[in-house]
Amino acid sequence: MTRKPEKPYVSPGMPQLDTSGKTTSFFEFWPAWAMYFPVAIQWLLLSLRHRSLMLPLLANPKLPLSGMVGVAKSELFEQARGQCAEAILPWIKVIRTAPFADEQLPKIVQAMEQANLAFPLVAKPDIGCRGVGVKLVHNEQELAEAFRHYPAGASMLLQKLAQHEAEAGVFYVRHPKAEQGKIVSLALKYMPYVVGDGRSSLKELIAQDPRASELQHLYLPRHQDHLDDIIPEGEAFRLIFAASHSRGAIFRDANDLITPELSAAIDGLMQDLPEFYYGRLDIKFADIEALQTGKGLEIVEINSASSESLHIWDRATPLREAVRSLLFQYRTLFELGAAQRKRGFRPPRLRELLRRWHLERTLTPHYPETD
């Protein structure tokens, strides 16, 4: 008699995760250039039509380059007001100025106390993408170790840990002349877990898991010091902290969960972010009912011009749908940029894009390993 596989462990508040069938789509972990090649061709064609290569970088005109690359998260957070500012999890920015990280620690702790931040909290780069350098720090020693990696002049955000574990990515678009925006994509973000049996090591549990075994190159280096640990029976071990696809998070298309109430709640939050028309919110919520009614949402991050509709990374999404979605996104960027140009905004220069791209590329290798 074949043993029926146990239901996978999911974070509290998340619906049950269906793991039957294939574990990933065949293109899910293709290199970025392969997925974005059609986008590059479309970008060139639309640039000729609109007579501007940089027009998409006007979509969110109050944000440099519309947040495409090399733009600090704090620049967008600082613009938020009203309900949006209240929904963003409390944060502070810390700039590396001292030769040794320990020298700044007392001032950092003092700033945390003034902002009512306490351990554990999330430490992440102010300039960075795809979950790079995100750390869950539990004490001053771990904070100092994370901060040690930042070069002089680099800034780190310290953010309150969300009270909820359930997470979703909500892609939002609004035309400058429209009174209301809309959600164009909703995806649930599942954390990968393995569950102990009291006999197997962490490394063995990862190798036995249908999906985790295919992504060992992502998980094993992160848990190098614990691979031989025996995980107690029934204990769920979380393989990543940052819910990033490139780090091994599991995404599921949740467009069927979009409701008028959620749409209104998200639009209300984004209306409190001046001149913001395009981007994705990463939000925490208590349960699916809270998500669909738009109540008690906690904003972890607001991604802008370079963000993706996360439903494309659902294992069931066909390649043609994923490419169609990416083309729609960048076509929308051009449309928004054209509308902003008519309002009097001017596209940035190419050298500014190259400068900020170089800045991000220079900073990224310094950041600590992502949790």
Q: Do 134 and 155 fall into the same domain?
A: yes
Between strands 250-253 and 182-190, the pairing is antiparallel
Res 5: pLDDT = 46
- The string of pLDDT tens digits covering residues 234-251 is 999 999 999 998 899 999
**Domain endpoint, select from 239, 274, 298:** 239
Q: How confident is the model at residue 113 (pLDDT cuts 50, 70, 90)?
A: very high
Q: Do 134 and 265 fall into the same domain?
A: yes
Number of Cα atoms under 13 Å in the Cβ half of residue 139: 1
Tokens of 45: 């064609």
Res 328: pLDDT = 98
Structural domain containing residue 293: 40-189+250-366
Tokens of 105: 């620690």
- The string of pLDDT tens digits covering residues 217-237 is 999 999 999 999 999 999 999
On whether residue 8 sits in a domain, the answer given is no
Q: Do 223 and 340 fall into the same domain?
A: no
- Average the pLDDT over 6-11 and give the result: 86
Q: Do 233 and 313 fall into the same domain?
A: no
Res 6: pLDDT = 65
Per the prediction, the chain carries an average pLDDT of 95
CATH code: domain of residue 362? 3.30.470
On whether residue 371 sits in a domain, the answer given is no
Q: Do 220 and 120 fall into the same domain?
A: no
Q: Please check the confidence at residue 3 and state whether its pLDDT lies above 90.
A: no
pLDDT above 90 as % of the chain: 93
Asked whether the beta carbons of 173 and 249 are under 8 A apart, the reply is no
Burial class from Cβ neighbours inside 10 Å (0-12, 13-18, 19+) for residue 275 reads middle
pLDDT above 70 as % of the chain: 98
Residues in CB range of 355: below 8 A, 6 or more apart:
70
Query: pTM of the prediction?
Result: 0.94
Q: Do 330 and 267 fall into the same domain?
A: yes
SS (H, E, C) the chain: CCCCCCCCCCCCCCCCCCCCCCCCCCCCCCCHHHHHHHHHHHHHHHHHHHCCCCHHHHCCCCCHHHHCCCCCHHHHHCCCCHHHHHHECCEEEEECCCCCHHHHHHHHHHHHHHCCCCCCEEEEECCCCCCCCCEEECCHHHHHHHHHCCCCCCEEEEEECCCCCEEEEEEEECCCCCCCCEEEEEEEEECCEEECCCCCEHHHHHHHCCCHHHHHHHHCHHHHHHCCCECCCCCEEECCCCCCHHHCCEEEECHHHCCHHHHHHHHHHHHCCCCCCEEEEEEEECCHHHHHHCCCCEEEEEECCCCCCHHHHCCCCCHHHHHHHHHHHHHHHHHHHHHHHHCCCCCCCHHHHHHHHHHHHHHHHHCCCCC
CA 130, chain centre distance (Å): 6
On whether residue 15 sits in a domain, the answer given is no
Res 131: pLDDT = 86
Q: Please check the confidence at residue 2 and state whether its pLDDT lies above 60.
A: no
Residue 16: φ, ψ to 5°: -55, 140
- The string of pLDDT tens digits covering residues 39-92 is 999 999 999 999 999 999 999 999 999 999 999 999 999 999 999 999 999 999
**Domain endpoint, select from 179, 209, 239:** 239
- The string of pLDDT tens digits covering residues 194-209 is 999 999 999 999 999 9
Asked whether the beta carbons of 157 and 137 are under 8 A apart, the reply is no
Asked whether the beta carbons of 283 and 248 are under 8 A apart, the reply is no
On whether residue 3 sits in a domain, the answer given is no
Q: Do 256 and 340 fall into the same domain?
A: yes
On whether residue 312 sits in a domain, the answer given is yes
Residues in CB range of 284: below 8 A, 6 or more apart:
89, 162, 163, 164, 165, 166, 167, 297, 298, 300
- Average the pLDDT over 162-168 and give the result: 97
Q: Do 135 and 105 fall into the same domain?
A: yes
Tell me which residue of 153, 111, 129 sits closest to 121, measured CA to CA: 111
Provide the 10 A C-beta neighbour count for residue 260.
9
Report CA-CA distances (Å) from 159 to 200, 244, 261, 291.
35, 17, 28, 22
Res 96: pLDDT = 96
Q: Do 216 and 319 fall into the same domain?
A: no
- The string of pLDDT tens digits covering residues 241-280 is 999 988 999 999 999 999 999 999 999 999 999 999 999 9
Beta partners for residue 237, in sequence order? 194
On whether residue 1 sits in a domain, the answer given is no
Side chain identity at 185, as an amino acid letter?
S
Q: Do 89 and 206 fall into the same domain?
A: no
On whether residue 9 sits in a domain, the answer given is no
On whether residue 107 sits in a domain, the answer given is yes
Q: Do 325 and 207 fall into the same domain?
A: no
- Average the pLDDT over 179-201 and give the result: 97
User: Domain tally for the chain?
Assistant: 2
Q: Do 202 and 231 fall into the same domain?
A: yes
